[in-house]
Amino acid sequence: NAGVTQTPKFQVLKTGQSMTLQCAQDMNHNSMYWYRQDPGMGLRLIYYSASEGTTDKGEVPNGYNVSRSTTEDFPLRLLSAAPSQTSVYFCASSYTQGKQYFGPGTRLTVT
Amino acid sequence: GEDVEQSLFLSVREGDSSVINCTYTDSSSTYLYWYKQEPGAGLQLLTYIFSNMDMKQDQRLTVLLNKKDKHLSLRIADTQTGDSAIYFCAESRRFGAGTRLTVKP
């Protein structure tokens, strides 16, 4: 099992550009999550999905969008990148309320 | 709102015990978790405790849960330099800010 994979590992965007961060898991987990990690603020939940076809907003959803059309994939879209979205993004998956398995992260810089 | 809080830094000498503390507000979680993050990597589950337990021991790790005070702690015995990392307390989808543990030789 590859576990949770994320691409790309690094990305630099200009303000106003859009892009999609990819996340995939091969553990047949029903729940998937997107977090951002900023210094001194821990992980903050952006969006999560309890099952295929459902998504819910987390603590900081503004400027992002997600979809869950398959069990395996949970892409995160940045609609119009802003410098405030410079962060490290982590995708995770789990069974319902279970321990989460994290991907290696995507380091995003918006200039 | 619901929150998970932990101190940001802890420094210990190699061979000492480390104790990382966490407080939380949501008492409905079935499990409480400790994750470890090494530099440049994602988070890895270190250990977890079921909410109706008071203590769980796993080799050098001891988790204590005080449900009345909503206080969770992680004790690492015989701390090694390889234990230097950031430790996150979590309940469900909510994470603390992380405690950076530095182990000095």
> Could you read off the pLDDT of B32-74 as tens digits, one per residue?
999 999 988 889 999 999 988 999 999 999 999 999 999 999 9
Q: Do B95 and A48 touch (CB under 8 A)?
A: no
- Judged against a pLDDT cut of 90, whether residue A32 lies above it is answered with yes
**Structure-token match 């050098």, residue found:** B60
DSSP A101: E
Q: Do A103 and B31 touch (CB under 8 A)?
A: no
Interface membership of B43 toward A (CB under 8 Å):
yes
> Three-state SS string across chain B, please?
CCCEEECCEEEEECCCCEEEEEEECCCCCCEEEEEEECCCCCEEEEEEEECCCCEEEECCEEEEEECCCCEEEEEECCCCHHHCEEEEEEECCEECCCEEEEEEC
Interface membership of B45 toward A (CB under 8 Å):
yes
- Judged against a pLDDT cut of 90, whether residue A77 lies above it is answered with yes
* DSSP structure string for A7-30: E-SEEEE-TT--EEEEEEESS--S
Interface test with A, best of B20, B43, B99 (most A CBs within 10 A): B43
- Judged against a pLDDT cut of 80, whether residue B27 lies above it is answered with no
Q: Do B33 and A99 touch (CB under 8 A)?
A: yes
Of A47-56, B26-35, B69-78, B84-93, the range with the lowest mean pLDDT is B26-35
Q: Tell me the pLDDT band of A19, cut-offs 50, 70 and 90.
A: very high
Is cis: bond before A8, omega within 30 of 0?
Answer: yes
Q: Tell me the pLDDT band of A101, cut-offs 50, 70 and 90.
A: very high
Q: Which residues of B touch A25 (CB under 8 A)?
A: none
- Report the Cα A12 to chain-centroid distance in Å: 16
Interface membership of B96 toward A (CB under 8 Å):
yes
A5 DSSP β-pair partners: A24
Report the C-alpha gap between A64 and A37 in whole angstroms: 15
Å between B32 CA and nearest CA of chain A: 9
Q: Which residue of B has its CA nearest to A40?
A: B97
Dmax over Cα atoms in chain A, in whole Å? 37
Residues 53-82 (B) with a CB less than 8 A from some CB of A? none
Percent over 90 (pLDDT), chain B: 78
Of A6-10, A95-99, B16-20, B29-33, the range with the lowest mean pLDDT is A95-99
Q: Which residue of B has its CA nearest to A91?
A: B42
Contact A43, A90 (CB under 8 A): yes
Q: Do B98 and A42 touch (CB under 8 A)?
A: yes
Q: Do A99 and B43 touch (CB under 8 A)?
A: no
Residue B2: what pLDDT? 59
Q: Which residue of B has its CA nearest to A38?
A: B97
| Mean predicted lDDT score pLDDT of chain B | 92
Interface membership of B98 toward A (CB under 8 Å):
yes
Residue B78: what pLDDT? 98
